[in-house]
Amino acid sequence: MRILKGTAAEAYVKKLERRGSRIEEVEPAVKKIVNDLRNNGDRALRNYAKRFDGLGTRESLRISESELRQAWNSTARPLKSSLQMAAKNIRQFCEWQKPSEWMRSAKGISLGQMVRPLESVGCYVPGGRFPLVSTLLMAVIPAQVAGVKYIRLVSPRPSSEVLAAAAMLGVNEFYKVGGAQAIAALAYGTKTIPRVDKIVGPGSLYVTAAKKMVSFDCAIDMLAGPTEVVIVSSRGKASFIAADLVAQAEHDPETLAVFITTSEELADAVITSLKRGKPGGPPLHIPAIAKESLKHRGAALIATSKQQAFDWANRMAPEHITVDRPDLSLVRNAGSIFVGDYSAQAAGDYASGPNHVLPTAGVARFRGGLSVMDFVKLITVQEVSSGGLSRLAPAIVQLAETEGLRAHAESIRVRCASA
């Protein structure tokens, strides 16, 4: 992990402002898969599931409810308790997030909104190196709180732990397919997997490219890329900062890991902690993936002032950001904010409550993380009385005629004439 300051630090930030995904590299292959699924349905889905996901010739695409129950029954008690605690906290946070219905009336006009859940959603749970039980919780629970009727899970080679988490939440539609083919199946439907209204959840570059490709036909949450961690502090504990950088860096060898500070002394202490661990303590364990990430995409930036530090951070618009308590109001762009020494970013990854499916690659400039709001529609309602319409009529007629839409104006006049 290198230390940058002055023009080198500014150049680094400018480069990050222009960062994006590399989905164009896989788009030709993904386009072929998506079109194949769209045209050939289950036949194409099974072919790709055999080729990429190890599906047996006679094996069902759908996981049975008995298999889900068995996974939960065979799960060790400590993991069951941990899943239940995390689920409880996530569900409570989602309940707090859920928007409310309301109506307001004044001068013959009643206005408001209704909240209606989406009918169906597809939740993608990555396979890969780790059994991401937490991602399943984060995708499914807000959909349940929103009231979504049909929740369909897809995951390549799901582990018993992932199946157990699904069983705990009462999900009964779980399909063992992944990649671009799973996204296409959810978007367009096959005989086995009905189409959904929206697809959520992170995945590989192929999954991200497929989500982008189907997004005009099926809603998606966001195009998620490699994990990002930014920490801005001039007085935090070096060992804590180093530990958080390593924790997020172990997600992916392309994780963006940045520490921003006005204190060169603290930056040196963080680098020392990464190399040797806490003074007097054991060396910090750094997985090989994290070492690669910190080497190629890690940096400590030395700012000349707090203002410059947060200017850099907000321009990066990172997925995760940790700040000191007095600086919370300075954050404008971030997926999720962690405040103070003991708000470990791993707490948000698992059990504190807020969602860990978060925007990356600067997308935090215009949207936040996955939430209940992703699974509901806000439908506006208006009821206008005769008197209320009479008060609005002059403005409506004037604006309609200005736009040359005479029938719009006449629809008002005919009502006012009969009042």
Active site residues: 319-320
Does residue 219 sit in helix, strand or coil? strand
User: What is the spatial order of strands in the sheet that 228-232 belongs to?
Assistant: 2-5, 298-302, 256-261, 228-232, 320-323, 336-339
Place of tokens 């920490």: 231
The sign one gets for the Cα dihedral 339, 340, 343, 346 is positive
- Of the CA atoms within 13 Å of residue 159, those in its CB half-sphere come to 15
Quick one: how far is CA 71 from the chain centroid? 27
Q: What is the C-alpha end-to-end distance of the chain, expressed in Å?
A: 75
> Are the beta carbons of 71 and 169 closer than 8 angstroms?
no
Does residue 258 sit in helix, strand or coil? strand
> Are the beta carbons of 94 and 352 closer than 8 angstroms?
no
Torsion of CA 69, 74, 78, 83, to 10 degrees: -20
Does residue 302 sit in helix, strand or coil? strand
d(CA 414, CA 405): 15
**Cβ contacts of 5 within 8 Å, gap of 6 or more:** 264, 301, 302, 303
Quick one: how far is CA 352 from the chain centroid? 16
**Cβ contacts of 4 within 8 Å, gap of 6 or more:** 12, 299, 300, 301, 302
User: What is the spatial order of strands in the sheet that 102-106 belongs to?
Assistant: 102-106, 109-117, 376-384
Token digits of residue 177? 């397919």
Token digits of residue 203? 């995945």
